Amino acid sequence: MQQKEIDRINELARTAKQRTLSSAEKAEQARLRAQYLMEYRHNLRNILDHTVVMDLDGTKHPLRKKAQTVEELTVVQVKTESEEA
């Protein structure tokens, strides 16, 4: 996203505080916000995908995704315990 698009988002936000936006301005604001959020999430995901955790002994491990449910968490714990044995 270019700086001019971010500036336009901010301009529309300031305008919305002063007066009601037209339907075209509201649509543009929604489109720009959606694009901004999509790019922000993509960049954050890219950063996390390339982040590693280093143990005290120097071993590097990629970040793991957080378990979504209790069942998934249990499966991860069981696998970890069996790998340690």
pTM of this structure: 0.65
End-to-end CA separation in angstroms for the chain: 49
* Residue 21 confidence (pLDDT): 94
Q: Give the tens place of pLDDT for each residue, 52-80.
A: 988 889 889 888 877 666 666 565 555 55
The DSSP string of 22-60 is PHHHHHHHHHHHHHHHHHHHHHHHHHHHT-EEE-TTS-E
Digit-coded pLDDT (tens) for 2-55: 999 999 999 999 999 999 999 999 999 999 999 999 999 999 999 999 999 888
pLDDT of residue 38: 94
Q: What pLDDT is recorded for position 55?
A: 86
Domain extent listing, the chain: 3-84
pLDDT of residue 65: 78
> What is the spatial distance between Cα 1 and Cα 71, in angstroms, rounded to a whole number?
39
